[in-house]
Structures are given as structure tokens and as C-alpha cells.
Copies of this chain bind each other. A is one copy, B any other.
């Protein structure tokens, strides 16, 4: 599908945004759009949007624009949103539970299959059809079930060790919420959500703005 094997991460980060806005257009019955219109919605430049899309081939028509449904589909295929994914969450504390309850993934076919925790008070409870299981049963579980994505919501002190266990059991995609960088083999992809780093950046810009407005 790709024209080019190596697509810049910056491009990949923008695709989900295009996908979301195309979904919104779709919902309100708009079935034609343009890089100009997408630019107004997303804040990215029209030229950048065209360049981004052209990494994957020409989805538009010169002189006309883009078909909303088609373009959304194509971006979905590029991202892999046309497939199903099974997820487990390791660490059923606040963040783990919040992820399990999160409904913002509805646009695609992700299923949280189970959560794992050491806390006996949590084991046995269910969140939206997903059972919270004993962490000790994690390896056995992974031997039986094919899981695509593991979410790490444990304390940072055990995150590395949990990640290694997951990788030993065949996991190749990790969504890491622990505020620590995981040292992983090359064939494991880790997507970090480092909330403290996000808050620290926010803090920088908040202070910068305050200084400038004085």
C-alpha cells in the first residue's frame, strides 16, 4: 500500500486527527472535502495535509477534492483500524480502570479482554465485561489467548519487569502509562503516555504565556 516504506512519525501522528475529523464530516452527511477545509478544521496547513496523504498514494482527485468516506477508509486501513485488536491491561488501579472504561476507542474495534492486578480486593471484579485477574495467572493466560496490545498501568517500580514478562509471552505492542522508559528489544513497539511529562510541558508554556502577557 505504501509508496514509501519509511514514513515520518510526525505524519503518522497526524493521521488519527484526519481520521477523526473525516468521521465528524461523515456523521453530518458531508461527503466531499478538500485539503483547504481539512486545514481549517485541523489547523495543519493544506499543503502539509496533501503531502501527508501523498505518502500513501493519491486519494483525491485534482480539481475536485477528496471523498470523505473513501479517504476516511483509506486512512483507517493505513492505521490498521479495519482490524480487530485484543487488549489486556496490567495494573487495575486508577489509570488501568479508567482505560478499561474509556469509550473513546469506539471508532475502531478494540476489545479489553482482561485486567491483571495483585490486589486481592480487585481480583474477581469486572469492568465492562473484562475480568480483573490475578497477576500470577498472566503468563498462563497469554499462552492460551492471542493478545495484540498490552497496556501497562502498574507502578513504575515494576513496569520494566512486567514489560519483560509480557514480551516473553509474545506481546509485541505495549501502551505504557508508567512514568518510565521501557528498555525493550527492537521488535517491540512501545507507545508512551507520560502524563507527568505532558503536565511539565504544559507548565512551561503556562509560565511563558504569563511572562509574555506582562
Q: Is A193 an interface residue (CB 8 A)?
A: yes
CB atoms of A202 and B149 under 8 A apart = yes
Q: Is A28 an interface residue (CB 8 A)?
A: no
Total contacting residues, chain A, CB less than 8 A? 57
CB atoms of A204 and B172 under 8 A apart = no
| B residues less than 8 Å from A172 (CB atoms) | 206, 209-210
So how many copies of this chain end up in the complex? 2
Pick the residue among B101, B195, B205 that contacts A173 (CB under 8 A). Answer: B205
Q: Is A61 an interface residue (CB 8 A)?
A: no
Given contacts A95-B98, A102-B195, A193-B195, 17 further A-B contacts (CB under 8 A): A12-B201, A13-B197, A16-B194, A20-B196, A42-B181, A80-B207, A93-B101, A94-B102, A108-B200, A108-B203, A172-B209, A172-B210, A173-B205, A173-B209, A187-B209, A189-B205, A193-B193
